[in-house]
Structure formats: structure tokens, C-alpha cells
């Protein structure tokens, strides 16, 4: 029993370090600018936390790769869905060697991070919302295809085109 507890804590420590902000963000992402509106820089920084650079590889992973989403910047609704489906936002077994992120503001409290991975073969839109003064990812869809929401039936984005 003792060994199980030690292994459990070790797994938790690994999961928490995998979800920390990447070195390029310089720490936690400020959630709101002085006007209280979301900015494109905040949206992009949040997406970088979701798909962080792997620490020992020239590649990009996903926060919650071990299916522990507690430290990930996701809404409770998204955490529950990913836990139920037993999947991550990456939906792939391998890491991506490329990552491109652009941001779009939809309103003062909602934005979209357009994320391109795997040399352009996989494109996601992360829907980002303001909850309690924080920006959190609430949904992921295949770029431009609302019918592929994480809350709908699973569709691989590279097959959904």
C-alpha cells in the first residue's frame, strides 16, 4: 500500500510539472488587462500552456497528458468531459514537432486560439472564456468546424476536413 501511495504522488508531481507555463511565458499569464477585456497575447499565452514545449525534446505536448487535468487551465466542464472520454486535447499518441498559435478576440470575455500542430496537418480552435477573473479553455473544435466540438461525438481533426 505504501508503494502505491509513493507512486501516486510521483505521478502527480510529473503531471503538475508538465502543465506549468512554458519558459517563454515567464510565469503565470495575467488574466485581464486594465480594461477587463481579454487580449490576443493572453489567448496565445494560454494556448502555449495547453500545448507546452516538452522539457527534454524538441516537441510540444499537451497539458494533462497523463489524464490528470487538475493543473490545466480548463473549465470544470471541459475537465469533466476529458475525464469521461479518457482523452486529452491533443488526441494523438505522439508529440508534435511544430506548433503555431494565432489568437482572435470574439468579445470582451471570449477568444479563440487557433493552434496548428504536426507540420500543419492538425488544426484546432481552442475556445477560451473568462471565468472568475481567469481565462480558461472551455472547448476544442477542429478548425472552423463547430460540429466537431469536444462535447460532440469524437472526430479526428485531420479526418474531419
In this structure, are residues 28 and 21 in contact, taking their beta carbons and an 8 Å threshold?
A: yes
pLDDT above 90 for 20: no
Q: Which three cell numbers stand for residue 21?
A: 507555463
Global model pTM greater than 0.85:
no
CA 10 to the chain's CA centroid: 22
> DSSP character for 22?
P
Three-state DSSP class for residue 111: strand
Q: How many residues does the chain have?
A: 161
| Spatial separation of the C-alpha atoms in residues 78 and 8, rounded to whole Å | 23
How do residues 109-136 score in pLDDT, each as one tens digit?
999 999 999 999 999 999 999 998 899 9
| Spatial separation of the C-alpha atoms in residues 104 and 47, rounded to whole Å | 12
Least-confidence region, from 36-40, 87-91, 152-156: 152-156
How do residues 88-107 score in pLDDT, each as one tens digit?
999 788 899 999 999 999 99
Angle in degrees, CA 137, 8, 16, rounded to 5: 35
The domains of the chain are located at 2-159
| Spatial separation of the C-alpha atoms in residues 118 and 51, rounded to whole Å | 12
Amino acid at each position: 500500500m505504501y508503494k502505491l501511495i509513493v507512486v501516486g504522488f510521483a505521478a502527480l508531481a510529473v503531471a503538475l510539472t508538465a502543465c506549468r507555463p512554458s519558459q517563454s511565458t515567464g510565469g503565470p499569464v495575467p488574466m485581464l488587462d486594465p480594461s477587463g477585456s481579454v487580449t490576443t497575447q493572453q489567448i496565445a499565452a494560454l494556448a502555449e500552456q495547453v500545448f507546452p514545449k516538452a522539457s527534454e525534446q524538441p516537441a510540444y505536448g499537451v497539458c494533462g497528458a497523463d489524464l490528470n487535468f487538475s493543473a490545466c487551465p480548463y473549465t470544470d466542464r471541459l475537465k469533466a468531459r476529458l475525464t469521461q472520454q479518457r482523452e486529452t486535447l491533443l488526441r494523438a499518441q505522439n508529440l508534435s514537432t511544430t506548433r503555431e498559435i494565432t489568437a482572435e478576440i470574439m468579445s470582451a470575455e471570449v477568444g479563440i486560439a487557433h493552434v496548428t500542430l504536426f507540420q500543419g496537418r492538425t488544426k484546432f480552435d481552442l475556445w477560451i472564456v473568462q471565468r472568475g477573473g481567469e481565462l480558461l479553455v472551455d472547448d476544442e473544435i477542429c478548425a472552423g468546424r463547430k460540429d466537431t466540438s469536444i462535447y460532440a461525438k469524437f472526430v479526428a481533426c485531420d479526418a474531419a476536413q
